Chains A and B, each alone.
Chain A
Amino acid sequence: MNFWGIGVLALVASLAAAGPAAAQMRVVTTTEDLKALAEAVGGDRVRVTTIARGYQDPHFVDAKPSFILALNRADLLILVGRELELGWLPALISSARNARVQPGAPGYLDASAGVRILEIPTGQVTRAMGDVHSQGNPHYWLDPGNGRIMAASIRDRLSQLSPGDASYFADRYRAFDARLAQAESRWEALMAPYQGRKLVTYHRSWPNLMERFGLEVIGYVEPKPGIPPSPSHTITLIGEMKAQGVRVIVVEPYFEKRTPQSIASQVGGTVIQLAPSVGGVPQATDYISLFDYNLAQLAAALK
């Protein structure tokens, strides 16, 4: 057998060996919540990696070389959108040199299509207002209803990219939908006694969660989004909390705890750490356990 014969044989053999592996789509997501949803819908037909970890602030991510590599090989990129990743994703995408995942390509999925967005600013948005997102609050995944819509978008896009597996994705979506619906009734029962209760959060990560489960946020530890606590704002917040009898402060894992703890000691309250994303705490391993953890913490603190 001559050189070319061996070459062709090797090529055919490698293609055959690569068969099952090639059926797995390489998906890159910007957050662990999207990873959890992509895996729920995609099952073993997808291999998902995430850029931002759940315990990190998703507004700020260091561009590591491994992310560019992952994006270069990706078949599908799923992002949260609404300007959450504006500070770091565009540069990563352009460095990745992958035509499949450029904005507008089929491998670029903005998961915010069709979801319920809150806090859309009216009027002009300036830096003086802090780090305000002009397209509304991007932490929309913290509402199970939105989670359902996001999973459906992922199902549709996966089916578009891999039509042969469309029925598989549809089945997995239905199973996820059923699990989610069951969990939702459990959550509503848990949070029913605390409708209308007030609390304070560090950053504006929670409007969707609070609206869905009937809680009210009366103030923030940050004077403006992205601005660290200042003395007079902290003093004013303490006054407000005392006046309205608010005793619970919700803090994300990536913020300092000293200021919230000193506020809590002034008002006789508690600081609880909630997970804004899957992976934000060890107990939040997927989309449903994220809410299980957060709502259990809230219920215990509000009792």
Chain B
Amino acid sequence: MDPMLILTFLAAPMAASLIVAGIHAYLGLHVVERGVIFVDLSLAQIASLGATIAIVVPWLGGDPHSLGVYWMSLAFTLVGALLFALVKGQAANIPQEAIIGITYAVASAAVILAMSQSAGESEHLRDMLVGNILAVQWHEVWTTAGLYAVIAVFHYAFRHRFLLISTAPAAAVAQGISVRFWDFLFYASFGLVVTRSVAIAGVLLVFCYLIVPSVGGMLYSSRIGPRLAIAWVMGVVVSVLGMYFSVWLDLPTGATIVCTFGAALALMAAVRPLVLRLP
């Protein structure tokens, strides 16, 4: 195969994965700090459900790329975000993880039900899980970059506020900050990102971009700055490596990147004792 052909073909997918890795590494830091790991899996699945229903209802014409699909998907995600923000506020009679898990299961099953009445069921279900990042086109890259840039600016402007409610919510309450309101803003902006990412990369890959680089950072540092740096580097390196393996071994790209994340994290954990012993 002509290397130039491979590179031109991979250019847009590579750009998309870098953009996704960038914002997800940051958001993942918060998600891991809050200890609600599965909220993103659940929100991603709710986003998929919204997109599926949008594709299946006749009045949107069944075009998976239409703006109507994104808005419907987003509406579902925001309802989910609202749900999770509200449930967190309850005294811990119902564990939030239970609600998150139930939502994930029901949303997944609902997608299967929605697709059972439509053509292309198994393809859609597979793309929902691992995405089809190789098929991303440049106009999708630009719209994604634009959206994430806006969110990034928003989060940078209020970074101290968001960091406080993620790391020390009790202190935030003591300062008189409305934690519930900022929680909702966090989940809402998170939802905007996840909805877009899931359409490109699928539920499993979005989960990996969110959690794995952040955990990699935690292995090597306790401070937010270095953690973020490690997470960004890990996200970029694994994306490039995963795509290379996918083309070289001719395997589905999304699933290959997920497995590469796993292998990379295992490696980072394995060499940690050696690295941390250095002066």
Interface residues of A (CB under 8 A from B): 55-57, 60, 62, 228, 230-236, 238-239, 253-259, 261-262, 265-266
Across-interface contacts of B9 in A (CB, < 8 A)? 234-235, 238, 266
Output the least CB separation between A130 and chain B (Å).
Answer: 14
- Indicate if the CB atoms of B252 and A254 lie closer than 8 Å: no
User: Which residue in A57, A233, A238, A259 is a CB contact (below 8 Å) of B132?
Assistant: A259
Across-interface contacts of B120 in A (CB, < 8 A)? 253-256
Interface centre among B64, B135, B137 (most CB of A within 10 A): B135
Across-interface contacts of B135 in A (CB, < 8 A)? 258-259, 261-262
B17 part of interface (Cβ distance < 8 Å): no
Tell me the complex Cα distance, A231–B1, Å: 11
Output the least CB separation between B49 and chain A (Å).
Answer: 18
Tell me the complex Cα distance, A60–B116, Å: 13
Tell me the complex Cα distance, A259–B132, Å: 8
- Indicate if the CB atoms of B119 and A231 lie closer than 8 Å: no
Tell me the complex Cα distance, A228–B122, Å: 11
- Indicate if the CB atoms of A236 and B119 lie closer than 8 Å: no
Tell me the complex Cα distance, A234–B251, Å: 12
Tell me the complex Cα distance, A55–B115, Å: 13
Tell me the complex Cα distance, A265–B122, Å: 25
Query: Which residue on B lies nearest to A280, using beta carbons?
Result: B119
B134 part of interface (Cβ distance < 8 Å): yes
B34 part of interface (Cβ distance < 8 Å): no
Output the least CB separation between A179 and chain B (Å).
Answer: 29
- Indicate if the CB atoms of B5 and A228 lie closer than 8 Å: no
8 A–B contacts from the bound complex (CB under 8 Å) = A230-B250, A235-B6, A255-B120, A256-B132, A258-B127, A259-B134, A262-B137, A266-B8
Across-interface contacts of A236 in B (CB, < 8 A)? 1
Across-interface contacts of B137 in A (CB, < 8 A)? 261-262, 265
User: Which residue in B64, B127, B251 is a CB contact (below 8 Å) of A230?
Assistant: B251
Tell me the complex Cα distance, A257–B63, Å: 10
Interface residues on chain B, size class: 20 to 34
Across-interface contacts of B136 in A (CB, < 8 A)? 262
- Indicate if the CB atoms of A235 and B252 lie closer than 8 Å: no
Across-interface contacts of A238 in B (CB, < 8 A)? 5, 9
- Indicate if the CB atoms of B5 and A255 lie closer than 8 Å: no
Across-interface contacts of A230 in B (CB, < 8 A)? 250-252
Across-interface contacts of A265 in B (CB, < 8 A)? 137
Q: Which 6 A-B pairs have the closest CB atoms?
A: A258-B135, A262-B135, A254-B119, A256-B123, A232-B250, A55-B119
Contacts A231-B250, A233-B250, A262-B136: A239 and B119 contacting too (C-beta < 8 A)? Answer: no
Across-interface contacts of B132 in A (CB, < 8 A)? 256, 258-259
Tell me the complex Cα distance, A114–B122, Å: 34
Within 8 A of A (CB), among B110-150: 116, 119-120, 122-124, 126-127, 132, 134-137
Across-interface contacts of A261 in B (CB, < 8 A)? 135, 137
5 more contacts with CB within 8 A, not counting A62-B116, A231-B253, A256-B124, are: A230-B250, A230-B252, A255-B123, A256-B123, A259-B134
Across-interface contacts of B134 in A (CB, < 8 A)? 231, 234, 259, 262
User: Which residue in B2, B12, B116, B252 is a CB contact (below 8 Å) of A239?
Assistant: B2
Tell me the complex Cα distance, A253–B118, Å: 10
Across-interface contacts of B246 in A (CB, < 8 A)? 231
User: Which residue in B1, B12, B64, B123 is a CB contact (below 8 Å) of A235?
Assistant: B1
Output the least CB separation between B137 and chain A (Å).
Answer: 5
Tell me the complex Cα distance, A244–B12, Å: 24
Output the least CB separation between A200 and chain B (Å).
Answer: 15
Across-interface contacts of B36 in A (CB, < 8 A)? none
